[in-house]
Amino acid sequence: MLRKAMLDRLAAWLKEGQNSLSGAQDELQLAVAALLIGAARVDDGLDERERATIDRLLERRFGLSPEDARRIETAAERSEERSAQLFGFVRTINSLLPQERRVELIEMLWEVAYADGVLDPLEDTLLRRIGSMVDVSDRDRGAARLRVARRLGIAEEE
């Protein structure tokens, strides 16, 4: 039942995204993947748990095959390495992703931040910064954090 609800939500998210994005889907996928990689790297590492989480999130959110998710991750990793700033990726997110879907992006970022089992203060700071840049309030960002923590079975303060 939970799985069907998640799939229905994903289908609606993708349909809405395709309608509003038209030919820009690849650009959006690359921007989302680059932000996820940036969140994983902020604590000076990108381990296999984080990489697997990123791939799984890309597969789930964009309906990609594992191979396509890995290709996008690889391209985003190169792009993120060359970019010293998040602004270009955030600009793409803000222009292509509807406001109501940006909280889901923040949830994806929290999943990556928690993937290695340790939440680094730099990860929290980065997610606060990205949340602000994509116009997600601190309240919504915090609620997204709690949802992810609960889903992953991590004890969090309310």
Domain extent for 52: 2-152
For residue 158, being part of any structural domain is answered with no
102 lies in some domain:
yes
Residue 7, domain member (yes or no): yes
> What confidence score (pLDDT) does residue 4 get?
54
- Digit-by-digit pLDDT tens for the chain (158 residues) are 444 555 555 455 545 544 444 457 888 999 999 999 989 888 877 889 999 999 999 999 999 999 999 999 998 888 887 766 778 899 999 999 998 899 999 999 999 999 988 888 999 999 999 999 999 999 999 999 999 999 988 876 55
What is the distance between the alpha carbons of residues 89 and 56, in angstroms, rounded to a whole number? 20
Examine residue 157 and state whether it is found in any structural domain, yes or no.
no
Q: What does the block give as tokens for 90?
A: 């955030």
Number of domains in the chain: 1
CA distances, 24 to each of 30, 60, 93, 109, 118 (Å): 10, 18, 11, 21, 34
For residue 155, give both structure tokens: 């004890």
**CATH code of residue 122:** 1.10.3680.10
* Model pLDDT, residue 156: 62
Residue 138 lies inside a defined structural domain of this protein: yes
Quote the pLDDT of residue 22.
43
96 inside domain: yes
118: its two tokens: 């340790």
Q: Is residue 70 included in any domain, yes or no? A: yes
